Amino acid sequence: MPELPSRRAALRGLGAAGLLAALAGCGVPAAYVPEDRRRAPDLSDRDRTLAFSNWPLYIDTDDEDEESRPTLEAFTRKTGIQVRYTEEINDNDEFFGKVSPALMNHQATGHDLVVVSDWMAARFVHLGWAQKMDRSAQSNVARHLDPQLRSPAFDEGRLHTVPWQSGITGIAYNRRALGREIKSVKDLWHPDLAGKVTLFSGLDESFSLLMQGNGTDVTRWTESDFHRMCDQVENMVRKKHIRRFTGNDYTSDLGKGDVLACQAYSGDAIQLRADNPDIEFVVPEEGGELWAESLLVPNLARHKANAEALVDHYYDPAVAAELAAAVNYVCPVPAAREVLAASPDQETARLAENPLIFPDDAMRRRLAVARDISSAERPALAKRWNAIVGL
């Protein structure tokens, strides 16, 4: 399987997204769109198409034809709806900058359905740029959505968003080269790892796991918790204990042995282990972050009902299982586990037992969905974090 790009692209500064967030935090109302102004006339009945934008390599493909996407083709056969599928989302902030001028000026973006990380989905929801979905037309979502992902703080009840895939932020390390286990975030600061540790550069990617290492309840963290964590990380940077801050290129560092331990995503860890069985992934004893990347329907989308039908298609356990087997992230449809377990292919069936795809109860008790950073908090917190990354 090819290496997947990061599903949680780094926040590289405030940029257009930070500016709008700051404006919203200061009470500037121009960007916000109330619920009753988000819909456009829906052409779904007479125009059986939809425009769906996703990240690269984030869907199943045919082994013999990489342009073929079996689960999308099955949807078209079942519904007659043709999907214009594009892999144009390479960075959350970049995509936000692309569509924000239209959305803040109450114009259509040309997208019916998009996938962004939940911290970015939070911005869309807070700005009123995501439409409420019709759950009465989404029986699979209502029945099969993972209970742990049903009501994030930014979108209570998941009225405007639905997880596409989920994942865990934890620690990956080379057990053989290190010569010991890593069980805790605090283990990253052990002297034998000096200069051999990397952390994520993105604020939204990094902060939760590091706060959890300090015993913080990340579902209701405070700015004091944040700055305490930053003090600790800054101290380690100044001591040159942290080799560098990374995006998804941490996988290369770990694979080559340039680092021995790092913040990591569960889906990447599965692929890394396939190439190097000495690589271990651990959810620290203090806990790990459960995150999601979510589908949403932007304002003024012209094929909303078609988009909602596609979302519900991916919550059919059989379809969800096919997608999970391809991308190896945490499946937001627990019922897909039984489908995979019944597969006659032993390798596929083994995926059902992988707790990084289907977390068991013991692991779930150690996972938390972090409170997102509010628009009012973001400028100051991003400034502090980016200053540390830039040391």
Query: pLDDT tens, 290-315?
Result: 999 999 999 999 999 999 999 999 99
Instruction: Count other C-beta atoms under 10 Å from residue 381's C-beta.
Output: 19
Quick one: CA dihedral 161, 162, 165, 168, positive or negative?
positive
* The two structure tokens encoding residue 229: 């964590």
Angle at 166 between CA 250 and CA 69, to 5 degrees: 90
> What is residue 230's predicted lDDT score, i.e. its pLDDT?
98
Question: What would the pLDDT profile of 125-184 be if each residue is shown by its tens digit?
Answer: 999 999 999 999 999 999 999 999 999 999 999 999 999 999 999 999 999 999 999 999
Q: Strand, coil or helix: what is 87? A: coil
Quick one: CA dihedral 207, 211, 212, 216, positive or negative?
negative
> What is residue 30's predicted lDDT score, i.e. its pLDDT?
61
> What is residue 79's predicted lDDT score, i.e. its pLDDT?
98
Torsion, Cα 315 317 319 324, to 10 degrees, reads 100
> What is residue 23's predicted lDDT score, i.e. its pLDDT?
45
Rounded CA-CA distance 230/286 in Å is 18
User: For the chain, give me the number of helices (H) and strands (E)?
Assistant: 16, 10
> What is residue 249's predicted lDDT score, i.e. its pLDDT?
85
From residue 303, alpha-carbon distances to 42, 71, 325 in Å are 5, 19, 29
* The two structure tokens encoding residue 233: 């990380």
Mean pLDDT by 10 residues, the chain (391 residues): 39 42 46 94 98 95 88 98 96 94 95 96 96 97 97 94 97 96 97 97 96 97 98 98 92 90 93 90 96 97 98 98 96 98 96 96 94 93 97 93
Phi-psi region of 158 (alpha: psi -120 to 50; beta: other; left: phi over 0): left
The number of residues making up the chain comes to 391
Is residue 295 within 8 Å of residue 162, measured between CB atoms? Answer: yes
Closest CA to 348 of 363, 326, 329, 333: 326
* The two structure tokens encoding residue 48: 């059986």
Closest CA to 145 of 333, 293, 321: 333
What pTM was computed for the model?
Answer: 0.89
Rounded CA-CA distance 251/173 in Å is 11
> What is residue 271's predicted lDDT score, i.e. its pLDDT?
85
Angle at 318 between CA 312 and CA 324, to 5 degrees: 90
From residue 305, alpha-carbon distances to 43, 108, 265 in Å are 9, 16, 33
